[in-house]
Chains A and B, each alone.
Chain A
């Protein structure tokens, strides 16, 4: 009995921390390293028991060893509504997220994701939207049986004085252990922060300039 109570109280703390992160603009990296995003999102959504793995993630040490967490923010010179609408259709994401091969929307909540893995492999999972606030927040998490257990949220809020919209993304991946885990980790590059940063930069290019700047396919003296 005692241990259960303890678990609940940890979860409660995580949820409070994440509630403040999602709502406010606190510097969250240290928070990210301590808590479980999924646990916090679940608690926020009120559906704690539905998804697997929540209980285990209350062990802070386990989470530290296995999870990869990234947060990144970009300001985009477009209105909140436009960005929210584009992102909310997950099928748009592979246009600027390089490691994604495809996303298929199944219904209002569920979608099927396929990511490119090293050596021509691919990894797949189903994800559910677990929380959405129109023109503000979309949070998602993979469902049981995912090749990579992952969750995250994207938050949109107006930037001051007509500077557009601040778009913040927080993603957490739980890596399977061992060599498979190492191979999958490669998928996210040596610097996952950079990869998410590049994805967001491409999102900004697409939304502001209507196209993604590229030099792929141009001539050089290397051919």
Chain B
């Protein structure tokens, strides 16, 4: 089959590789009908995710059609159209049974590697490095789905692929981020980053009862989407001081919750931004945390920080004094896809939201490299790229 393999920073190639096969009784094989580049694939593309091996098939946000099932698969059958959670859960461990799927004890065959870095292993993620299990990803014609009865969720007929695809990863991530904001009546939620996850977080914040959503970014096209799709008021942090603007917009109180939909490659401003970039370049600091710093300072006293942008290693110069003295609550983590996907399918089916609006580009799998470049540099007003194998 055809697949996109990673060979090093910014080096991705379309190659011919063997087809996947059933390796375990609870596996299914899917023909990928549509897949997409996620913001966190950019961290892989740029070489910031450790434990990638040359030749790894990447991609973790996808949907498709079941073409084969293992002997222990009970709910799925050949021909089913499904969307698949990017995070893999066994369904049987203490965490999966409490709906905390990204903390699964059993899906990551290389959890021992992670224990060394994180203390405990987490769930595996498709196409997302060997720390996260080393499973082959979705930028391919076919993909193997472990624990398929849990991860692959059937899609009702009549909803086009484009409307369902973001339910694999970006939409549930944004929704969980909004849920983590612990929204109360009258609350204002500030969202850093107007990429797909940020946009879904904005809509989800309203679904969960937010009164106002304020979006922070620097690209006019993305800010326009935040206004139109996300129904947010916007701040361009290159034009105004985001912290001061947020205070003024909220009667001097500050936002009740702040949501990070950016993660480890955030762009800092001025000297601070230069400091992080330099440290990250020589790997003294693995992640750049300007969004985290801004949120800790901008959030109201007693407020909540919800962190959905991905962090992988170490950050420094964190304003802990601000967080501590203001009594902030931090919530974070990889998303629980299997928990949220079914309820989000409902919202799409009843017309509450059209997730396909986040796509600006549709490309064949052969043009994955171009897709990465468009998405990374926001060229041609790129917001999200759908890839067709």
Contact = CB atoms under 8 A, between A and B. Distances in A.
B54 A222 contact: yes
A211 B146 CA distance: 10
Given A215-B134, A220-B136, A221-B56, A208 B13 contact: no
A217 B21 contact: yes
A223 B18 contact: yes
Interface in B1-35: 1, 3, 5, 7, 13, 15, 17-21, 23-26
A215 B111 CA distance: 13
Contact of A77 (B23, B94, B112): B94
B109 A219 contact: no
B94 A163 contact: yes
Contacts, number: 101
Contact of A208 (B1, B21, B106, B144): B106
Contacts of B215: none
A221 B109 CA distance: 20
B3 A221 contact: yes
Contacts of B21: 217
Given A77-B94, A218-B20, A210 B134 contact: no
A208 B26 CA distance: 13
Interface in B144-164: 144, 146-147
A9 interface: no
Given A197-B115, A220-B5, A215 B106 contact: no
B3 A210 contact: no
Interface string A7-35: 00000000000000000000000000000
Interface in B48-101: 53-57, 72, 90-94, 97
Contacts of B23: 214-218
A197 B112 contact: yes
A201 B26 contact: no
A173 B352 CA distance: 63
B72 A218 contact: no
B90 A205 contact: yes
A164 interface: yes
A38 to B, nearest CB: 28
Contacts of A4: none
Nearest to B19: A219
Interface string A75-111: 1010000000000000000000000000000000000
A204 interface: yes
B125 interface: no
Interface string B346-378: 000000000000000000000000000000000
Interface string B126-149: 000000011110001000101100
A194 interface: yes
A215 B147 contact: no
Contacts of A218: 20, 23, 135-136, 144
A132 interface: no
Contacts of B133: 213, 215
A17 B370 CA distance: 65
Nearest to B108: A213
Nearest to B95: A77
A176 B323 CA distance: 57
A211 to B, nearest CB: 5
Interface in A169-223: 194, 197-198, 201, 204-205, 208-223
Contacts of B108: 213
Given A213-B109, A221-B5, A208 B55 contact: no
Contacts of B109: 212-215
B57 A220 contact: yes
B124 interface: yes
Interface in A19-70: none
B17 A223 contact: yes
Contacts of B287: none
A201 B111 contact: yes
B304 interface: no
A212 B107 CA distance: 8
B200 to A, nearest CB: 29
A89 B325 CA distance: 57
Nearest to A208: B92
Given A201-B112, A208-B90, A223-B18, 9 more contacts: A77-B97, A209-B26, A210-B92, A211-B24, A219-B19, A220-B57, A221-B15, A221-B17, A221-B56
6 contacts: A209-B90, A215-B135, A217-B21, A219-B18, A221-B5, A222-B55
Interface of B: 1, 3, 5, 7, 13, 15, 17-21, 23-26, 53-57, 72, 90-94, 97, 105-112, 115, 121, 124, 133-136, 140, 144, 146-147
Interface of A: 75, 77, 163-164, 194, 197-198, 201, 204-205, 208-223
Smallest CB-CB A-B distances: 7 pairs: A221-B5, A222-B55, A221-B55, A209-B90, A219-B17, A213-B109, A205-B106
